[in-house]
Amino acid sequence: MLDEQVMLAAQALASAEESRSQVALLSLQYPAMSMADAYRIQEAWVKRKIAAGDRHVGWKIGLTSRAMQQALGIDIPDSGYLLESMRFDDGSIVPGNRFIQPRIEAELAFVMKDDVAPNASVFDILNATDYVVPALEILDTRIVRRDEQTGSTRSVCDTIADNAANAGFVLGGRPIRPNELDLRWLGVIVSRNGSVEETGLGAGVLNQPARGLAWLAQRLATVGHGLRAGQIVLSGSFIRPVECPPGSTVVADFGPIGSVACHFA
């Protein structure tokens, strides 16, 4: 894609977020768009936010389950930015006019104590982690999920350009050192308005939630970024996305490390 096209796509996403009105599939408008182009659009959109006063606080990793990768025809995760404006306190009320079509995922957030080398192993990631905590990721779709005329659905390029569908995050529970529990066997029960909607295990996230951070460190190095001390990383969802229409109260119970919750007004 030309630089001008990248900027136009980033502007369209910014306008969609501000107006809470979705834009058409970028993959149809720019059929030659590659994953690299999609990350350029994401970067341009985020730069606009930072220039307006927002602050970069970390990263999210998505498409970590085999089922989601197969649905999009890929074999690697994707990633997006976490910004300060996306942060909600545990138990927060999310304003009804904040998002377009919010959904949530339940995952672990890694908070880094050291910078991470591009070639870091899973063990290096665990050693560089200060603590992990339960998290909810709030997803939103600034791009339509399906084009009504053609029947085409969002491609991985649409998802990446749309900041990997990230819109917010909530941290809660009890911080633990990553060696205190076998993260592969850590489970979650996710309820909406008192009814259990989803359950999952850490092993569903690339067989080890820390594995995604090793992938992320390598990817970031190819585009001049890095995984740095103090950053928050959402490592990938234990569950399928749960729709959150107005009035939804969502609680993710991670057992020995506590729970995290929010309410959508």
The model's confidence at residue 112, banded by pLDDT at 50, 70 and 90, is: very high
Look at residue 240 and tell me whether its pLDDT is greater than 80. yes
Average pLDDT, the chain: 95
CA nearest 128: which of 113, 110, 111? Answer: 113
For residue 143, CA distances in Å to 30, 57, 68 come to 14, 24, 18
Cα 9 → chain centroid: 20
Residue with tokens 């999920």: 145
> Domain spans of the chain?
3-264
Q: Kindly give the pairing relationship between strand 92-94 and strand 259-264.
A: parallel
Instruction: Write down the CATH superfamily of domain 3-264.
Output: Fumarylacetoacetase-like, C-terminal domain (3.90.850.10)
Q: How far apart are the first and last CA of the chain?
A: 39
pLDDT greater than 80 at residue 191: yes
Predicted confidence at residue 67, as pLDDT, reads 72
| Strand partners for 168 | 138
pLDDT band at 72 (very low <50, low <70, confident <90, very high): confident
Position 70 pLDDT exceeds 90: no
Interval 166-185 mean pLDDT: 96
Answer whether residue 69 shows pLDDT above 80: no
Look at the block and give the residue holding tokens 């190095």. Answer: 221
SS3 category, 82: strand
Q: What percent of the chain has pLDDT over 70?
A: 100
* Beta carbons within 8 Å of 182's beta carbon, 6+ residues apart: none
DSSP assignment string, 227-249: B-TT-EEEEEESS--EE--TT-E
pLDDT for 118-169, tens place per residue?
999 999 999 999 999 999 999 999 999 999 999 999 899 999 999 999 999 9
How much is the pLDDT for 74? 78
Which pLDDT score is estimated for 68?
74
Judge if pTM exceeds 0.85: yes
Specify whether the CB–CB gap between 31 and 185 falls below 8 A. no
